[in-house]
Every structure is written in structure tokens, then in C-alpha cells.
Amino acid sequence: LHRVQPVGVGQPRRESVVHLSADIPEQSAFGLALLVERGEIDPDGPEAERFIADALKDVVMHEVGHALGLRHNFKASVGVSRAQLRDARFTAERGIANSVMDYQALNIPLHDEPVADYHMVTLGAYDHWAIEYGYRELPPEREAELLAEIAGRAATDDDLAYATDEDLANGDPAINQRDLGDDPLAFAQRQLLLARELWQRTQARQLPPDDDFTLYRRNLERGLAGFSASVPLLAKYVGGVYTRRTLAASGQPLVTPVPADEQRRALDVLLGEVFASESFRFDPAFLSRLGVDQLDRSQAAGRAGPDFSLATAVIGIQRGALDALMADGTAARLADAEAKVADPRDLPTYAEVQERLAEAVWAELATLAARGEPRNIDSLRRNLQREHLKRLAAGLLRPASAVAADVRAVHRQVAARLEADLRKALARPGWSGIARAHLADSHAVLAEALRAPLVRQGV
């Protein structure tokens, strides 16, 4: 096609159908499971048939868009407000995003919210605009003028916002796969609430006498996947920037640091939800009844048996959050943001992020034992603390990154404070045996890392 650049028209990507078709069942399985647990959909009834048909329609429209030359538009979802997502008339007429070329999440309401379309069931505003640009018949003598007029609508119409595959690496929290609505941070929080609701309803459900408990395990894993998917959405706010595609005539910036309050709000959610053991508390009777589908050969290779390690699943989610918050790239973006605002004093710094992270991960060091009861640190928290310590020590010993010079200095400051806190904690009585052993080992590792000589570049 000759009308390519302004609207993201280009060759379809072969891998798109593979990624999309593989992802849709996971999304649909979570949403359908929750709606079934609520009693809003009969899995053998017409509502379930429509749910599946709408999911297939969404995939087909997306792939036809590629066949017509459209690329992905991962900014289309933020063009629809949260209020509009709860308006059934709006979603039927305009869809749940401004383009079928996005990878939309399911539009699942919270338990007390109105129900609208769960899937993208129609074309969005961006789709009509892009096809008009690429395929509308125009008189040859006015083609350039009219094409410029069509393309120019993007400067004043937010419904036509566009960002594609390469833009996913921009650190822009508004450009994501599998989010929905004009506030990705709020969407991530909703996903955590929906995961908890699925867990609560599943634990309370009485299975038929001939059931093999497979449903319990599937719904537990679906909720954990929802938690895991929320981590990168939240982490992109910390040190993130909002980006736009625009021309000089618009007078708008290409890059704007995420406001400080949004960055701190996202950090609050990560620290308070993803790193908290309370987020992963389950009835022991439920955890002892997580069945495995013995006839599902596709899953057999990855499962040794019916036992399920909650600790392994949780630390896998938390590692992703630690890696994001302690990354050199995050430190570099936080430092770079200082030059992009008039008053950088309100922006969070890498030091603030690491200090708050350490306080949240090691919160037990500041707690007092209940009278007559030993202080304990549960296994989920011990795992998290070990992973944090591993990254902190590595930051002390490896050469400083050329793009993130603050990392080692901040890690040394946090490590010195944590080493002193661990020493004080070990001097206090009342720890359980496993907690004291864990704290003693953590202190020894950190003290050794602080004493070790620095690794120099080129040595």
C-alpha cells in the first residue's frame, strides 16, 4: 500500500495470529470461570455460546485487519473511559477499545458493576479512520490534499491515538497488551480484585461427588496469572514516560514523565499487593485439593504430580516485580526525568524507590512480637527477602552501569542500613528458630557483600 506511515498501515506480521490465538483462550478461560462462579453464565447454556462466539469474532476481525494492511495499535484501549466500558449501548456501538488491532483484555465488571460487552464486537474509531485513509477512493488531482486532511485528524482526535509493536519498549504505561480503559493503573488494580474474587468463590464452591478437583487448581492458577500480568503494567509507571506521535505544528511534547503521584500510587500497589503474603492466603483444605487432569497430556510434562508449590508460584511473580523495580533501566529513567520537568524535586528518585522497597520487603524487622508468642517470618516472605538480598548484593559487587551510575551508590546506602537493622533484630529475643536462622544468614551475606572489594570495569 502506498498510504503507509501516518496510520500504521503495513504488512501483517505472521506471528500475530499465533500470539493472539494462544492468548485469547487464557483470557477467556479466566473471565468465563469467574462469570460461571458468579452464576452469571451457564457453561452449558446460550450465554457461554455467545461468549465464545464473541471471542472468535474478535480474533477474526483482528486478523482481517492485518490482511488489509493494518498493524497493531496498542494505544487504542486507553481511548475508552471506564464509565464507557460499563455502558452496554456504548460498547455495542463503539467497542471496548478504539481499534480491533489492539490486544484487548476482557471487559469483566466487578461484582457490583453493570454488565456490558465482554469482547471487542465491532470496529473502533481508529479502524474506520485507518481504512478510510488506505482505501477511500479519491480524485487523483486532490489525493494528496485529501489524504493530508484525513491524516491530520489525529492531531485533534484522541480516539485516533496510535502506538504499535516497537512502541511497547518506550516505557509508556499507556501502551500495553491486554489492558483496558483510560487508566491502566486502575485496570491493574481491578485485575487483582477479580483474581481474589475468583479465588474466594472457588474456595467456597462445593464440587459434585464425582469431580476430580481439577477446577480448584485451574482457577488458582488463573488468578495467579492475573496477578503476574498486572506486575509489568504497574512497574511501567515507576520512571515511566507518556509518549505521543505528533508533528511540530501541534506544539505538544513527544515525551512527558509520568506525574509523581501516579508513579507513587503504582509503587504503593506493587508493595502493598504483590509483596504481601496476605495476598496469597488460602484455606489449607483448598490447597490440599488441587487436582490434575490426568488426561491432559499437554500439561503432564510440566507437572510432577498433584502437589502444588504455592511458594514457587508466588516467588515467580515477585521476582518479576523485583527485577523491574531494581533494574538499571528504571534507575536511568528516573534520573533522566529530572531534566524533563521544570521542578524535579517532587519526582521519585531511585533512592526513594529502593528505600521504600527495602522497608516493605523487610517489614518484619520493625514489628514486635505478641506477648508470649515467637516472632515468625513465613516462607513466602523469606523467599522474597532472599531474592531482594540477592539483587542488592549483586548491585554492590558488579561494575556500575554506564547508563545507571546511581545504582551502586543507592544499593550501598540501602544495604548499609539493612545490615544495621538485621544486626539489631538479631540482638532482640523472641524470634522463631527458622526466622532467626534466616535473619542470621541474611546478615552474613549482606555484611560480606559490603566488605567485598568492588569489581572494576576492564579488570
> What single string gives the DSSP state of each residue in 291-328?
---TT-HHHHTT-SSS---HHHHHHHHHHHHHHHHT-H
Rounded mean pLDDT of 107-131? 96
pLDDT above 70 (res 251): yes
> What confidence score (pLDDT) does residue 400 get?
66
Among the residue ranges 76-85, 98-107, 390-399, the one predicted with the least confidence is: 390-399
> For the chain, what is the mean pLDDT?
89
Among the residue ranges 12-16, 316-320, 413-417, the one predicted with the least confidence is: 12-16
Q: How confident is the model at residue 5 (pLDDT cuts 50, 70, 90)?
A: very low
* More reliable by pLDDT, 64 or 5: 64
Please give the share of the chain, as a percent, with pLDDT higher than 70.
88
Q: How confident is the model at residue 248 (pLDDT cuts 50, 70, 90)?
A: confident
Please give the share of the chain, as a percent, with pLDDT higher than 90.
76
194 neighbors 108 (Cβ within 8 angstroms): yes
* More reliable by pLDDT, 176 or 18: 176
pLDDT above 60 (res 372): no
Q: How confident is the model at residue 296 (pLDDT cuts 50, 70, 90)?
A: low
Q: How confident is the model at residue 69 (pLDDT cuts 50, 70, 90)?
A: very high
Q: How confident is the model at residue 306 (pLDDT cuts 50, 70, 90)?
A: confident
Rounded mean pLDDT of 189-200? 96
> What confidence score (pLDDT) does residue 457 get?
52
Q: Which residues contact 332 (CB under 8 A, 6 or more apart)?
A: 239, 401, 403, 404
> What confidence score (pLDDT) does residue 4 get?
42
Give the cell for residue 182: 483510560
pLDDT above 60 (res 18): no
Which 3 state secondary structure label does DSSP give 281?
Answer: coil
Cell 461468549 sits at which residue? 51
Beta strands 255-257; 241-243: pairing state: antiparallel
Quick one: which of 346, 370, 268, 279 has its CA closest to 317?
Answer: 279
pLDDT above 70 (res 189): yes
pLDDT above 90 (res 373): no
10 Å Cβ neighbour count for 165?
15
Residues 383, 387: Cα–Cα separation, whole Å:
6
Rounded mean pLDDT of 441-455? 88
pLDDT above 80 (res 256): yes
> What confidence score (pLDDT) does residue 250 get?
82
> What confidence score (pLDDT) does residue 14 get?
39
